[in-house]
């Protein structure tokens, strides 16, 4: 796995955004944003691990934007999850 992908997962972890990544045989890679205690807000299944991580990060970015707007911040682009 490239350092770029590891960096993205680490950025989610550092920002306390819970997630799950899993795979099963030839079923691709499943991703979920959230956790079993509080629920999963977004989820999907991709063919490659790289695609799953990208989709997970996009979902996290969109969730962060929605959260900030709901708290009264201006609706400007929130910086993307960086490595």
Structural element, H or E, at residue 40: strand 39-46
Average pLDDT, whole number, for the chain?
A: 85
Q: What is the pLDDT of residues 36-49, one digit of tens each?
A: 999 999 999 999 99
Is residue 69 predicted with pLDDT exceeding 80?
no
Judge whether 46 and 28 are in contact, CB under 8 Å: yes
């Amino acid at each position: 796995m490239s350092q770029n992908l590891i960096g993205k997962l680490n950025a989610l972890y550092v920002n306390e955004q819970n997630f799950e990544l899993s795979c099963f045989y030839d079923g691709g890679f499943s991703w979920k944003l959230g956790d079993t205690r509080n629920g999963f807000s977004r989820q999907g299944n991709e063919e490659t691990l790289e695609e799953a991580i990208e989709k997970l990060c996009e979902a996290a970015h969109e969730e962060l934007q929605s959260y900030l707007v709901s708290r009264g911040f201006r609706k400007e682009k929130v910086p993307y999850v960086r490595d």
